[in-house]
Amino acid sequence: MAILITGIGELTTNDPELGRPRDAAVVLDGERIAWVGPAVRAPAADERFDAEGRAALPGWVDSHTHLVFAGDRTAEFADRMAGKPYQAGGIATTVAATRAAGDAELAANLRRHVDEAARQGTTCLETKTGYGLSVPDEVRSARIAATVADEVTFLGAHLVPPGADPESYVDLVRGRMLDEVAQFVRWVDVFCERGAFDEAQCERVLRAGIARGLGARVHGNQLGHGPGVQLAVRVGAASVDHCSYLDEADLAALSGSDTVATLLPACDLSTRQPLAPARRLLDAGVVIALATNANPGSSYTTSMNFCVATAVLQMGLSVEEAVWAATAGGARALRRDDVGVIRVGARADLQVLDAPSVTHLAYRPGVPLTWRVWQRGRAVLSRFVVEEGAFATDHP
Ligand code: NIG
């Protein structure tokens, strides 16, 4: 069935030839975009939807989440806000809760968060294992993730499980664990940080994943300066994520590479780390992505709108740069060209804001501007409408 979305006041396409046309229309046909152009020349379709001058853009591509988990870390968050530093070891709390949960509980929790993200305009989402840290728990995390997420990443090297010997655990991750998980995942990731895994351990895991045909990703330079960025570039990782602490050599390595710097502003704020140097990265010619890092420990939000607003208000990006990073940038970090863009043949993932331009994402921070969302051509958000006068009172 073809749907004509017309009356688009401002259309962000991320396609260099199409640009950002005004008074535009888009036709979604099944799971693909079938036509893009001026509203006055739009072809007929089975259904017609009038955006009445609102802004439309690609659905968000959230290229970094950790949503296969159980349990809650509210108390840890409260302690942090009272001044206690974030530490990698907090992951163990979620590992214990995740191991204790049944498959149905894990799947329902994942689905609930993915639905929450979709209602806020996220139409393509990556998620990771990493709260199982045993062969059976990592395998079931990957299996459950693969039923819901667009992209699944194996993060056995998230933390050395309490009581395990680090070197033996690395051997398990790059050996039997990888063998059993590989069928469910496209990516291998490592947490290269003090308190997690060192450079040599990370490289062994990444090289083993690459040898199995997986793409590489790295968590690096999150809690202090470290070797994560250089390692990511060296192994040809699609993305190095966090990047809060970078030196000039890191910027130079990234700018001459195919590795995207994925910035996670909600995590920086929630862990009281400095916001990643987005402006310096862009000025150095590095491709950046913005993602939520949704997880119960360091960044418990699924809101890409929040990340975009923060990138503009506090990280020195223009709205256009931030929107690109949260759509096409996320696609680049996942090495995909079918999402994060509105052009003929791309996946029919599109959101309409209750605003005339994307500028409102930063101009009106915190306001729920997501108005309509289509994912693979299917409407996932039909916004509820408050009856006119519902909030009227009889008071004079
Ligand atoms: O990206 N850095 C490692 N992993 C997550 C944190 C997960 C947690 O604290 O539970 C992150 O911030």
- Strands lying side by side in the sheet with 288-290: 60-62, 122-128, 151-157, 187-192, 215-220, 239-242, 260-263, 288-290
How high is the pLDDT of residue 396?
Answer: 38
Q: Is the CB of 239 under 6 A from ligand 1?
A: no
Among candidate residues 314, 344, 339, 312, the one with its CA nearest the CA of residue 328: 339
Which of 64, 76, 91 is the pocket-test mutation for ligand 1 (most atoms within 8 Å of CB)? 91
State how far the Cα of 109 lies from the Cα of 95, in Å rounded to an integer: 15
Average pLDDT, the chain: 95
- For 243-279, the pLDDT digits (tens) are 999 999 999 999 999 999 999 999 999 999 999 999 9
Helix (H, G, I), strand (E, B) or coil at 38: strand
- For 282-299, the pLDDT digits (tens) are 999 999 999 999 999 999
Whether the Cβ atoms of residue 92 and residue 162 lie closer than 8 Å to each other = yes
| Exposure b/e, 211-237, CB count within 10 A at least 16 = b | eeebbbbbbbbbbeebbbbbbbbbbeb
**Known binder of ligand: residue 224?**
no
Give the Å distance between the CA of 130 and the centre of ligand 1: 9
**Known binder of ligand: residue 360?**
no
Look-up: residue for tokens 């039909």?
A: 382
How high is the pLDDT of residue 382?
Answer: 55
How high is the pLDDT of residue 375?
Answer: 96
- For 211-226, the pLDDT digits (tens) are 999 999 999 999 999 9
How high is the pLDDT of residue 88?
Answer: 84
CA torsion, ordered 220, 277, 287, 224, to nearest 10 deg: -10
State how far the Cα of 266 lies from the Cα of 288, in Å rounded to an integer: 15
Helix axes 199-211, 228-235, angle to 10 degrees: 20
3-state helix vs strand vs coil in the chain, percent to 5: 35, 25, 40
Q: Which pTM value belongs to this model? A: 0.96
How high is the pLDDT of residue 89?
Answer: 84
